[in-house]
Amino acid sequence: MESAERKIADILSKLDSYFRVNDYDSAEDYLLSQLETAVGEADVFSQIPILNELMGLYRKTGKREQALAAAESALELTLGTLREEQVGAATTYLNTATVYKAFGMAAEAIPLFEKAKKIYESSLVQSDGRLGGLYNNMALALVDLGRFAEAKELYLSALEVVKHTATGPLEAAITYLNMATAAETERGLVDAEEEISGYLNTAKELLDNYTVRDGYYAFVCEKCASVFTYYGLFLYGEELCGRARRIYEGA
């Protein structure tokens, strides 16, 4: 088991080198080659995390069919290999649910989010960043389904979790932008204007004051830029894209 964990750690380290420079094509090629090797060696315990990474990559790049195929494969292997209460199983449930939500299948995502939530909350400390990610992604699906009160409760839980993580301000900025979108969806742009403005200002302050300008910061800037642009903060959206570009060019 230790050698398998070391193998996955090495794969993730190499994968991160591609993400730091925004090279998704090379990341995909690398993951597919590693998956082929793991399949050839009948190494199920490596296949599962590789498939989890693939589904996340395909989700980011908008490749629906590939993302769903990776999700279904990971889910099948997980159910056939891991105990349902294991954290590793929960991670597959979470990632599969996130793929479903991303491609318009929020209703199908909720049962998997609920399974992951039950395992994470019983197995992880409340300051574990994985809980924050779960709460944020599940809340997004709940907003799609019009379950706004439940979504807001999860967003607030996410904010409590990320206070204790290294990249907490970045995760909090994303959460506040998610809350802005949820407020608009529930009440409309005019009625929720003041609330939305507060969320945007808080997110902007968090992004501006964060000093570790690395590949993950660049990714978050890109992710957040479109939200600020949507709400009319065009110059700030451009500034965030510029920050990301300079980081990638200097990597």
The pLDDT of residue 211 is 96
What is the arithmetic mean of pLDDT over 236-240?
A: 98
Task: Please tell me whether the overall predicted TM-score, pTM, comes out greater than 0.85 for this model.
Answer: yes
The Cα-based distances of 234 to 111, 186, 197, 227, 231 in angstroms read 38, 24, 14, 10, 8
Task: Please report whether residue 195 resides in a domain.
Answer: no
What is the arithmetic mean of pLDDT over 13-39?
A: 93
The pLDDT of residue 22 is 84
pLDDT at 38 over 80: yes
Q: What is the pLDDT of residues 87-140, one digit of tens each?
A: 989 999 999 999 999 999 999 999 999 999 999 999 999 899 999 999 999 999
Fill in the DSSP letter of residue 85: T
Task: Please report whether residue 197 resides in a domain.
Answer: no
Read off the CATH number of the domain in which 8 is found.
1.25.40.10
Q: What is the pLDDT of residues 42-95, one digit of tens each?
A: 999 899 999 999 999 999 999 999 999 999 999 999 988 877 668 989 999 999
The pLDDT of residue 177 is 98
Task: Please report whether residue 224 resides in a domain.
Answer: no
The pLDDT of residue 83 is 73
The pLDDT of residue 1 is 52
Q: What is the pLDDT of residues 160-194, one digit of tens each?
A: 999 999 999 999 999 999 999 999 999 999 999 99
Task: Please report whether residue 92 resides in a domain.
Answer: yes
3-state secondary structure of 210: coil
Task: Please report whether residue 194 resides in a domain.
Answer: no
Torsions phi, psi for 43 (to 5 deg): -95, 85
Task: Please report whether residue 177 resides in a domain.
Answer: no
Task: Please report whether residue 182 resides in a domain.
Answer: no
The pLDDT of residue 250 is 86
Read off the pLDDT band of 3 (50, 70, 90): confident
Contacts 24+ apart (CB under 8 A), 48-55: 48/74, 48/77, 48/78, 48/81, 48/82, 48/88, 48/92, 49/8, 49/11, 49/12, 49/88, 50/8, 50/11, 51/77, 52/91, 52/92, 52/95, 53/11, 53/12, 53/15, 54/28, 55/95, 55/96, 55/99
* Cβ proximity of 227 and 180 under 8 Å: yes
Domain that holds residue 65: 1-123
Instruction: Look at the chain and report how many structural domains it folds into.
Output: 1
Task: Please report whether residue 152 resides in a domain.
Answer: no
